[in-house]
Amino acid sequence: MKTTELRQKDIAGLQTEVKELQKAHFGLRMQKATQQLNNVAQLRVTRRAIARAKTILVEKQSQAAS
């Protein structure tokens, strides 16, 4: 998901997005562990997507606190 799409979501939407991405990343890690994952680059993509979503979530939370 692009940053522009993430910035349009509210805090609750971002929290659910982070949880979904973490579940997806966990599933990919399990596939890698059982040697069922063909595209290991997907792990990197999901890890960075989680970081991107968390960064925007923290920004929105700090704006809301101000």
- DSSP structure class, residue 38: S
- So what's the pLDDT on residue 25? 98
Residue 37 lies in a domain: yes
pLDDT of 16 above 90: yes
Residue 27 lies in a domain: yes
Tokens representing 15 are 């929290």
How many domains does the chain divide into?
1
Residue 7 lies in a domain: yes
CA dihedral over 44, 42, 8, 14, signed as positive or negative: negative
pLDDT of 66 above 90: no
- So what's the pLDDT on residue 8? 95
Residue 66 lies in a domain: no
CA dihedral over 47, 50, 52, 54, signed as positive or negative: negative
Tokens representing 62 are 């700090």
CA dihedral over 50, 53, 57, 59, signed as positive or negative: positive
- So what's the pLDDT on residue 65? 87
Query: What is the pTM for the complete model shown?
Result: 0.92
CATH of the domain at 40: 1.10.287
> Could you read off the pLDDT of 29-54 as tens digits, one per residue?
999 999 999 999 999 999 999 999 99
